[in-house]
Structure 1
């Protein structure tokens, strides 16, 4: 198939001149007969405050062509568009020339150079195998932060990661390893590159076997105590054995913690409480407390691991293997980590693109929805840059790697989510400080409760037991775990929908936002032109008008021409190739179509030809392409940048949230005001250049409050910066919020996730504190059962975990 549209040769009955004499007199000499000249894009028409041209009903079929007019005086009268002359060749369907490069139908992310971290050489990330609890993670972090030479250290229980910055990080690994083992002997440092893809493997060996054995001895000891009261040493020995089996690692951890100078530790406090009741002869209660505590820890680990896998599996698109083509053309399957920049990979139909690169052979269409959220495919051909994570269509491709696995987009997205989990929100930091005050206060209360009432009443057994019960609830474990987990749930839920938060602090910051500043060309529009409306004059239908415009623009190669041709193609228009075409620089095209002189372009083109435009009403925004045939005005095509679907719904929702919406654009005030009115945006900042952007943002924040700025680039002037569009993948390290999806409703979704996450965190705080208060009140009321206190505290932790998980599964 030829890539060039078919051209009609001049008929012997036609005049040898290209156009009629009247137009020659107006526009000057014509080019050579065989020369085709393409029209430049029409200039924007100044906006006027007038009503839009009313629509007209179509009264003829699609594909009707203009009738040949009397060539002796072609501009005298306007004839109906029907009954083509016999010499007109059969109409051909519109053929859009194929492009040597990909035609991006959807949003395609840009391929950026590899990113570099700050202090990259001194930054390390390790996985902590067998990390048992959030409490252990907090202890390790606090200890590492005090080491000389370590600038920063963060331990994230949700992702089992240790991230630290040090002067000489590799030389400090042994010291870090010793600190981890002193707090929990089972913890191991695992290099990130050696970590299993399935984190569910991280559990303590033999943990379940020990739990079962401890339960068996507990039951046996309780039976022995009931049936053999006359031999107290037998049940005591069995129950103590059960206690050691169930709580031995807790006791060892407590000893290590005391050695390191930490007394207000969960394991230390629980060990003291259980050893105290053993001293009072309550062996069953001590073993039962350890059992409940171990069951709670097991359930906590299982829930957090499931939570972690659910989140990370949704964003972990890293490939296990790739198919590399060697110099002889042989395909080898190798681990993805071994692929290097410059390697040639085979991408089979249906495969996920494994690494960022450039297509060197083959054509296909990619599903970019895993990266951009857009359902529209992206056509690719040789020399097209593509990013990892997209899914190949039906064509095989050969891809030259430009970014190895550590720098590929799929790795950067996963790292963005894991790094976000390490970012502490103000709420987390507040309750971490609160725990440092709360625990000593409750421990002091436990000591006073054990001593003062005992001296007064003489009932030492009751009040010492009550004091030991208070020790159990003196550590706010549910708060330390559930608050960051609720925020991590929000981060994970956002990542599943193409919304990447830089951390829990961003989720928390969204609650203070009062203004949404939207940059026009990245958030509101699709980045391509569209024929928004076709408005013919009475006596003309839309099909005929669009067909004539597409015929004039058939050989042109500018944006407006492609837009008109695409509109005709989408309507299955039959387009007659023009026999003659002449460009009028800066104004438009004059063409001979089936013997009729057609003018297509700017208003000035028709005015120069003395066409009566009294029926023309300019649009308030965008660009009008006017069409005249036979010297009479035929109608206008209104072309504007395509607005993303769902914008008006998004604006309505944002206003319902009490937010002020502001449009920021470099366009003129008239065009910006028209667009704002169309989309129901409250305020306009027009004519803003890139140099003025930060100043305008600061003024907007002073006028309306903290702002969320949504654009295609980050800015430090706004309280929260969000990046949306094809440049979003390159902004993972710079922006507070990154929208990999192009759907503007993701902005509302981000606010929803902020609300849900913070609500879950607040509910967890209230639940944990209420349960602890109930335990304290029960103790003062005489119900001082240690096992009941541990059970209630464990149930509170479990409920907080489940409540945090609800953020991943919102009802609406």
Structure 2
């Protein structure tokens, strides 16, 4: 079984078989008939024949009453055969108290007290309700899977004759060359060999702005090619490509149950046998005193029918799965189903600065000049000296020089002093480029007091000026921080950067608590102090140094653009790397849990009311079976609406 088959199989097993009903126990889901031909299923014909016989029995009772009972018995056996057999099989396996058992006892009990039409009728409407309930649940699961399943069926492989040939996507191997035409979805992760195009990454990240890709650039499966033809070398097979990883991540998250789901599973295991015992007491105790055995047995049977916990067991996990599906459509991956529930309890959010609140890319913001040097000369000389360096500040300076079309002059005798700067010769001039300490080492008098990150330049021991750089704050950072505060979340910044830089970013974004110059272990201890003061905490980071904090936070979230170690340690991954994904995830989590609780309260309220009504003699077996299946269907529909809800505000 390959990965794609494994994912498809897992998607039909998202709900634990606690109550024993067909919609919760979907063992034959892989062989399920297509929704378009539901009327060809054996289940449909069983219900149809049983309904016709039941209607005939009711009609014939008006003219030939003697034939009514045989027709009802035949109808009951056709409709209840599988229910009775499943109840027997489960009893042999030790699973006594499930819905099959409850319906078998209730309907056989109705036969025992001569309520023949109700015995067959309850079984008929139970089967009808299960039929529609199962299809509603399966349709909901399919809708959720289809909304996030972007796996291709075929790819266009370039053969030896340089012609595109369609092959199954799971047969493509690393190194194959494939063609992606405009309008097609990129099927596998790879590297562009030929062509330039704009691609829409919104299916993966939710980001609506297309990005331009060209030769030697990496592309992820799931993105849509918009404009040009791309020839791509496959770097990852289907099972390892992003489209499969996203779906597998959702499936894995759905398999890990939140506390409310584990509670419902345990509750159902205790609740059902208690209800059976109560029903037995209702049937026996009052009858011993009143002698009205028929009346109280009927009440007890109604009590049994309404007691099935199917609506609870089905709707709660489906609500969380729909929440996970909604999140994945917005570029948010939950690694654990329990993370959604944990987010609802968050009281504080601690955010790393670089790469989380800011882009982690430095820009030249200002150039200060002295002693006759111009801005372009300072930028050109710095770029010449820093051209070979991989330091982020050096890369930014060189990039700015190229954007201004300045010639990158050759530098010789380059000497780099780690943590300080670089000395080199450019056009026979000694050039010093570095921080303030580096200048002091060469007795260079600095005439500027830069408030932000600065690179100083001296030429032939004469101070020339400095380049002031700053990290760009993400466009959505201010609104995202405001969104967190609106939800009552305290926001803190934990960063290893300088106090001045951290304070500047905090002022612009509205963050109140700032902790700067932190080493990885200090980040962890600071986060723990905030947790002790504020309560459960969410930490969002992207660097390797953030991994210990992510692992220790109540919920750890990593930016998708971050280091693999951070992503691995996180409970949640924001594929978009947008800050506004944080408040969105919190709102979604609260909505998901609220709907799960709604389903629990609604189902229990209706069941308790019918139970009380049956005890008082106001509810019948008919109302009980309608209430049981009706509540389950309503809860399923309530749960699946999460998938299409919008939590942007």
Q: TM-score, normalised by structure 2?
A: 0.82
Q: CA RMSD in A?
A: 4.3
Q: For 1:30-69, list aligned pairs within 5 A.
A: none
Aligned to 1:540: none
Is this contact kept in 1: 2:170–2:238, CA < 8 A?
yes
Richer in helix (by share): 2
CA distance in 2, matches of 1:652, 1:377: 27
CA distance, structure 1, for counterparts of residue 40 and residue 296 of structure 2? 37
SS at match of 2:356: helix
User: Counterpart of 1:621?
Assistant: 452
Taking a change above 3 Å as real, the CA distance of residues 494 and 663 of structure 1, as seen in their structure-2 partners, is same
Taking the TM superposition and a 5 Å limit, the aligned residue runs for 1:476-495 are 476-495=309-328
Q: CA deviation at 1:730?
A: 8.4
> Matched residues in 2 for 1:423 and 1:348: separation?
39
Which stretch of the first structure deviates more once superposed, 749-758 or 733-742?
Answer: 733-742
Per-residue deviation, 1:637: 7.6
Taking the aligned partners of 1:471 and 1:605, their CA distance within structure 2 comes to 83
Instruction: Work out which of the residue numbers 357, 382, 389 in structure 1 matches 2:222.
Output: 389
The offset of 1:619, in angstroms, is 5.7
SS class of match (2:641):
helix
Query: Equivalences for 1:309-320 in 2 at 5 Å?
Result: 309-320=142-153
- Separation (CA, whole Å) in 2 of partners of 1:680 and 1:709: 17
Any unmatched runs of 5+ in structure 2?
388-393, 416-420, 428-432
Gaps of 5+ in 1: 1-119, 141-154, 161-186, 538-544, 569-574, 593-599
One of 616, 619, 622 as aligned partner of 1:781: 616
Q: Please name the residue that 2:595 is paired with.
A: 760
CA contact (8 A) 1:729 1:740 kept: no
Structure 1 residues 755 and 580: CA distance shift in structure 2, 3 A: closer
- Report how far residue 749 of structure 1 moved: 0.9
Q: Does 1:210 align with 2:46?
A: yes
- C-alpha displacement of 1:255: 2.0
* Matches of 1:156 and 1:234, distance apart in 2: 35
Alpha-carbon contact 1:289-1:787 (below 8 Å) kept:
yes
Partner of 1:285: 118
Contact 2:347 / 2:488 at 8 angstroms: preserved in 1?
yes
CA distance in 2, matches of 1:522, 1:579: 29
In the aligned structure 2, how far is the partner of 1:604 from the partner of 1:233?
108
1:735 aligned to which of 566, 570, 582: 570
Residue-by-residue CA offset, 1:560-605 (whole Å, 9 max, x unaligned): 345546876xxxxxx8x7899999996999999xxxxxxx999999
**Residue 47 of structure 1: aligned partner:** none
> Displacement, 1:755?
0.7
Secondary structure, counterpart of 1:520 in structure 2: coil
1:23-82 deviation per Cα after TM superposition (whole angstroms, max 9, x unaligned): xxxxxxxxxxxxxxxxxxxxxxxxxxxxxxxxxxxxxxxxxxxxxxxxxxxxxxxxxxxx
Q: For residues 736 and 197 of structure 1, what CA distance do their matches in structure 2 show?
A: 37
Please show how residues 686-725 of structure 1 align to structure 2 within 5 Å.
686-690=516-520, 692-712=522-542, 714=547, 715-725=550-560
Aligned residue number for residue 7 of structure 1: none
Distance 2:56 2:368 in 1: 90
**CA pair 729-801 structure 1, distance change in 2 beyond 3 A:** farther
Alpha-carbon displacement from aligned partner over 1:348-376 (angstroms, at most 9, x marks no partner)? 23322211222333333433232233344
**1:491 Cα deviation after fit:** 1.0
- Residues 1:222 and 2:58 are matched in the alignment: yes
Q: CA deviation at 1:279?
A: 2.5
Q: For residue 271 of structure 1, what is the aligned residue in structure 2?
A: 104
Among 373, 378, 395, the alignment partner of 1:559 is 395
1:644 aligns with 2:474: yes
Q: Higher relative contact order at CA 8 Å, sep ≥6: structure 1 or structure 2?
A: 1
Segment drifting more, 195-204 vs 282-291: 195-204
Question: Is the Cα–Cα contact under 8 Å of residues 7 and 248 in structure 2 kept in the other structure?
Answer: no
Report the Cα distance in structure 1 between the residues aligned to 2:537 and 2:487, rounded to whole angstroms: 14
Do 1:289 and 1:786's aligned partners in 2 also have CA atoms closer than 8 Å? yes
Between the aligned partners of 2:11 and 2:585, the Cα distance in structure 1 is: 33
Distance 2:35 2:360 in 1: 41
Q: 1:462, CA displacement in angstroms?
A: 0.9
Measured after TM superposition, the shift of residue 775 of structure 1 is 1.2
CA-to-aligned-CA distance 1:591-629 (integer Å, 9 cap, x gap): 99xxxxxxx999999999x9997xx7x6633448999xx
How many residues end up aligned between the 2 structures? 617
Aligned equivalent of 1:664, options 491, 494, 508:
494
Contact 1:530–1:642 at 8 Å: present in 2 too?
A: yes
Q: Which moved more, 1:315-324 or 1:527-536?
A: 527-536
TM-score computed with the length of structure 1 as normaliser: 0.67
Aligned mates of 1:504, 1:255 — CA distance in 2: 34
Q: Deviations over 1:272-292 (max 9, x none)?
A: 101111232323222221232
**Residue pair 1:588, 1:605 contacting (<8 A) in 2 also:** no
Q: 1:360 to 1:459 in 2, by over 3 A?
A: same
741-750 or 384-393: bigger deviation: 384-393
Question: Contact (CA 8 Å) 1:552, 1:581: kept in 2 or not?
Answer: no
Q: Is the 8 A contact 1:340 1:401 kept in 2?
A: yes
Seen in structure 2, the aligned counterparts of structure 1 residues 534 and 245 have a Cα distance that, compared at 3 Å, is: farther
Q: Given the alignment of the two structures, is residue 127 of structure 1 paired with residue 9 of structure 2, yes or no? A: yes
